[in-house]
A and B are shown apart, each in its own frame.
Chain A
């Protein structure tokens, strides 16, 4: 693992604006602006925002159970890392801030309220899934009872040193075996994420790059000779509309707010660019 990259990934943040649309008698309070770590979850950040709104001494305090969150006019998934939400919002180009509307109206059916305990449980399961893909659950099965909660604690306390010791155990197996598969989720706009069994290496033994891995997940032909004939299969994804230029030129792999070079080895991406849930979350953006 690369300490420098991991540290920088850990320290990367996103600017977030919370606005409350309560429609009370005093009008809406001023928006709450904050910088949030990319690895954290909205479920963890919400109480702070609400307490800011509740500083006004008039009106009833707003409780987290009574609100729902919306980004760009659609309900937001509170159990997805904030960094992934930000990247999905496609805000990179204009350096915009992630605007989150806190609503007190009846939540839509698609919104699922998640409290910190649930996020924790889901986070744990995601880590397990990642480990299942990587080592057939070898590492998580051998871990001590309190080690997984420790990983979660490093997130809630924003403690990189603790995170570093834990993530090394998860990312560098003691027996030195390579990952069997890489936990990778690819997000295409307006679609559920895609996930597939991706090995570290090509059958011929050469290292797979992140670009090739993403193509495999999206079931595209290898990026180098990707051209119009493949557009049929990718049409279903809806990511590329009617562009005549090759996809590989257009497709950008976004993670942690930056363009990940397509030639980055998959193993490097998995070890250093994964979120704490051990998944690499790549958002596909196009020009």
Chain B
């Protein structure tokens, strides 16, 4: 967990991780590791892993991702979990990780797919 956070932290400095970075200081708040994957024509991110606050909602990730992908607000961005459904943007990462995190290399990772066109219905 700590190693992952360290890994992600330096990389996120380039992107507007300011939302995440200051809240990460609060010791009682949990962090959630996210692994992003592009679908279809969506551009690939340089940094696939993100660490977010558990109280943040998916909507904030959406905003961050738009900035990362240089997507204007009018263009659509779709986020999927397990290539199955698009979770509600109101959903916090706490809830998402409790429901959909996967344990890949010993640590819990929340895998999220993103697309600029509707992918799964």
Contacts and interface: CB of A to CB of B under 8 A. Distances in A.
A122 B120 CA distance: 12
Contact of A128 (B90, B92, B121): B121
A193 B90 contact: yes
Interface stretch (B3-11, B16-24, B93-101): B93-101
Contacts of B28: 236
A199 to B, nearest CB: 12
Interface centre among A126, A181, A192 (most CB of B within 10 A): A192
Interface stretch (B41-49, B80-88, B109-117): B80-88
Interface of B: 28, 55, 57, 81-82, 84-88, 90-92, 94-96, 98-99, 118, 120-121
Interface of A: 77, 79, 121-122, 124-126, 128-129, 132-133, 137, 148, 181, 192-197, 236
A77 to B, nearest CB: 7
B interface majority secondary structure = loop
A122 to B, nearest CB: 7
Contacts of A121: 118
A194 B98 CA distance: 10
B99 A197 contact: yes
A132 B98 contact: no
B52 to A, nearest CB: 14
A193 B89 CA distance: 11
A197 B97 CA distance: 10
A224 to B, nearest CB: 23
Given A124-B121, A129-B86, A194-B92, 9 more contacts: A126-B88, A129-B84, A137-B85, A148-B121, A181-B99, A194-B95, A195-B96, A196-B98, A197-B98
